[in-house]
Amino acid sequence: MAIELGMELGKVSISEEVVAVIAGSAAMECYGLVGMASRKQLKDGIAELLGRENLTRGVEVRRVQDALHIDLYIVVSYGTKISEVAHNIQVKVKYVLNEVIGLTVDQVNIFVQDVRVLS
C-alpha cells in the first residue's frame, strides 16, 4: 500500500518499498552497524547478513492508523555499545525520512539480531 502525501499541486504516492530503501540506507551510514539482518528466523542461531542490494528485507514499514512505524533488523559490530548504536540509528532514520520525503515517523524500532566481530 502506498503512502500518499497531499501537496499544493496534487498528491504524491510513495511505495513502502521506497521508504524501506531510504530507511535502510540511512541506517547503514551509522557507526557500529555491520549490516541489515533478514526478518526471517535465524539459521542455526546466526542471523543472515544482507548486502546493500537487499536492504528492504531487513526493514519493515507499518502503518498504524495515521502513524508510520519502521522496524529495522540489524547486525551490530562487536565492541560497540548496542544501546548507543540503536539510538543513533533511530535518530538518523527519523531525520532522513522527515527531510527527504517529508514523512512524520512515529516510531523507529530496532531489533538487534546478531553481533559480529569485524576482522
In tens, the pLDDT along 59-101 reads 999 988 878 899 999 999 999 999 999 999 999 999 999 988 8
DSSP 41: P
CA 52, 14, 90, 108 dihedral sign is negative
- CATH number of the domain that residue 19 is part of: 3.30.70.1350
Report the distance separating Cα 42 and Cα 13, nearest Å: 34
Question: What pTM, to 2 d.p., does this model score?
Answer: 0.83
Which pLDDT score is estimated for 8?
A: 85
Residue type for position 61? V
How large a percentage of the chain has pLDDT more than 90? 48
Longest Cα–Cα distance in the chain: 52
Residue 19: helix, strand or coil by DSSP? helix
Over 70: is that where the pLDDT of 43 sits?
no
Which pLDDT score is estimated for 52?
A: 62
When divided into structural domains, the chain yields a total of 1
Which pLDDT score is estimated for 73?
A: 92
Cell 552497524 sits at which residue?
33
Cell 502506498 sits at which residue?
2
Beta-bridged to residue 55, according to DSSP, are: none
Report the distance separating Cα 49 and Cα 117, nearest Å: 13
What are 83's three cell numbers?
A: 544501546
Q: Which domain holds residue 57?
A: 3-116
Q: Kindly indicate the confidence band of residue 29, based on its pLDDT and cuts at 50, 70 and 90.
A: very high
| Element housing 84 (H / E) | helix 82-96
